[in-house]
A and B are shown apart, each in its own frame.
Chain A
Amino acid sequence: MRPKRQRLLIVITGLVFIGAAIGFALFALNEELDVFRSPSQVADEGFPEGKRFRVGGLVEDGSVSSAGIVTTFRVTDGANSLTISYNKILPDLFREGQGVIALGTLNAGGTFEAQEVLAKHDENYMPPEVADALKKSGHFKPEGGDS
């Protein structure tokens, strides 16, 4: 039956297509995923050089130094700390003692080169929509290492 075969063809094409798309999506997901590590985890387990991840903690007192637009600082989780360098303008709320989350890679020298630094925003209850907006504006709601 011609119509039947045609229908089958459409179904199969559709399934193959969706399968391929989902396969590709999963592949992309694996490639583009950013895991979160605390400074202690980085100190204990290390992290592959050049692979992107996120690290979070408090900016260590007295660790911030800048040369022109490049800023270097250390983040700590109380036990260990990690040196971060960043060559863009830091968010408004960035200061010593403040919680930050940085996205970037470790270089050969063990310094974390950040592509993005988010500073913790104000410490008050707010609707999720606002929290979300704040997150986008370069602040994050301090939780679970998730930005």
Chain B
Amino acid sequence: MTDNTDTAGEAPTRRRSRTGLLFALLPVAAFVVIGVFLFRGLSLDPSEIYSVLINKPAPAFDLAPLPGKDNGLASSDLTQPVQLVNVFASWCVACRVEHPLLMELKRNGTVPIHGLNYKDQPQAALNWLRNFGDPYDRIGSDLNGRVGIDFGVYGVPETFIVNGEGVIVRKITGPITPQILQKELLPLIAEMQK
């Protein structure tokens, strides 16, 4: 459209070139506005909306262990000042991503981690743990996902941070990344362990 303000063969007057510039600036200006919103959009955390369970007691449950193991998981096991309940499954690719971090936490003895094996075939879960290592103190086998529903699990993996009173303090949706671990998880755990 700016073309219409250009002229053919006429010497452009100052006024006209100024309107020309104004037209020419329009696209950049529009883009700046869009860019600001896009940036804002990046930092919006879509998982915040499902925070119904935060600061509420973890739901009551009692799950059997994986076959061949003897430590199942029940709500009464959540007695440490702070512990993680990690929802995982052998079919979950993203779980594989966060797994080394959990192993590291286990090695360092930072915090007890419990596993909620979600809608998984027990044998597949056992193979998975054998292949990649077992970071969990206790594992509850949630075959039909009932307990997952009580926890409001929307996807795997998810990690719940539970305090000594069995109250869910925080929930991490998706795999724990090194950043989340350093910036959020470790400070929170240190504070709760005080």
Interface of A toward B, CB cutoff 8 Å: 7, 10-11, 14, 38, 58, 77-79, 97, 99, 120, 123-125, 142-146
Contact = CB atoms under 8 A, between A and B. Distances in A.
Interface of B: 1, 4-5, 46-49, 52-53, 89, 91-94, 118-119, 145-146, 149, 152-156
A144 B149 contact: no
A38 B4 CA distance: 51
Given A14-B1, A78-B53, A123 B46 contact: no
A142 B154 contact: yes
Contact of A124 (B5, B46, B52, B156): B156
B153 A97 contact: no
Given A124-B155, A124-B156, A144 B49 contact: yes
Given A123-B92, A123-B156, 10 more contacts: A14-B1, A38-B49, A58-B149, A77-B52, A78-B52, A78-B53, A123-B119, A124-B155, A125-B92, A144-B47
15 contacts: A11-B1, A14-B1, A58-B149, A78-B52, A97-B145, A97-B149, A99-B154, A123-B118, A123-B119, A123-B153, A125-B92, A125-B94, A144-B46, A144-B47, A146-B46
Nearest to A126: B93
